[in-house]
Amino acid sequence: MEQTIVMQIPQSWLEGIPQEPLTLQQIFRSGLYQYKVERGLKLYRDGVGSLGYIAEQLGLSKRDLIREARLRGIEPDFSEQTVQEELA
């Protein structure tokens, strides 16, 4: 399902950016991905669930979320309980 979003963006944000639909869509996708990663890592740090669970809830790849966590110095918890939860 597609959704049309209309928003006003300050011209200064677009300086030096080709204002072509595909370029703007790529910028939006990149920003949305980054938002999901940051939200996911916050939820993980807050103890909401495992990285796998959070990735699933946000529509991210578990592998990508783990990679992003490690890039930020966050080491995933691989306790026996976490392993059992992931296998269930």
pLDDT digits (tens, 9 = 90+) for 8-66: 999 999 999 998 989 999 999 999 999 999 999 999 999 999 899 999 999 999 999 99
Residue count of the chain:
88
Rounded to two decimals, the pTM is 0.78
Q: Domain boundaries in the chain?
A: 34-88
Q: Record the tokens describing residue 25, joined without a space.
A: 């869509």
Q: 56-60 long-range CB contacts below 8 Å, 24 or more apart?
A: 60/33, 60/36
What is the distance between the terminal CA atoms of the chain, rounded to a whole angstrom?
Answer: 30
